[in-house]
Amino acid sequence: MLEKNPKKAFTAREICDILEIDEEREVYELLKQISKILKKKKRIIEFTQPVCRKCGFVMKKMNVSRCPKCKSQWIEPPRFRIKEI
Ligand SMILES: [Zn+2]
């Protein structure tokens, strides 16, 4: 699915909808597994880090629901994209 859309970046939420997964954290697990497979195909999953829309804080962890700095839940979610290396 991601491979078919190399130009498009997906959020975990969008991947949930496409793959009909209920929990976003399952997507993160899945992406970990996919990245191992893709390495063998000389491809990587590129992702943007989540950013707080309120204070601009960049999260190091991917799966965050709340800003550690200002506690805002207004988070720009990470987006994933397949990239050839
Ligand atoms: Zn913040």
How far is the C-alpha of 18 from the C-alpha of 74, rounded, in Å? Answer: 23
Centroid of ligand 1 to alpha carbon of 58 (angstroms): 8
Mean pLDDT by 10 residues, the chain (85 residues): 70 90 89 90 90 96 90 94 85
Domain total for the chain? 1
Is residue 1 in a domain?
no
Name the residue range of residue 75's domain.
10-84
CB under 5 Å of ion ligand 1: residues: 52, 54-55, 57, 67, 69-70, 72
Looking at the domain assignment, is residue 3 inside a domain?
Answer: no
Predicted local confidence at residue 68, as pLDDT:
95
- With contact defined as beta carbons under 8 Å apart, do 35 and 77 qualify? no
Residue 43 Cα distances to 58, 64, 70, 85, angstroms? 25, 25, 36, 5
CA of 69 to the centre of ligand 1 (A): 5
Q: What integer pLDDT is reported at residue 79 of this predicted model?
A: 92
Per-residue pLDDT, 4: 64
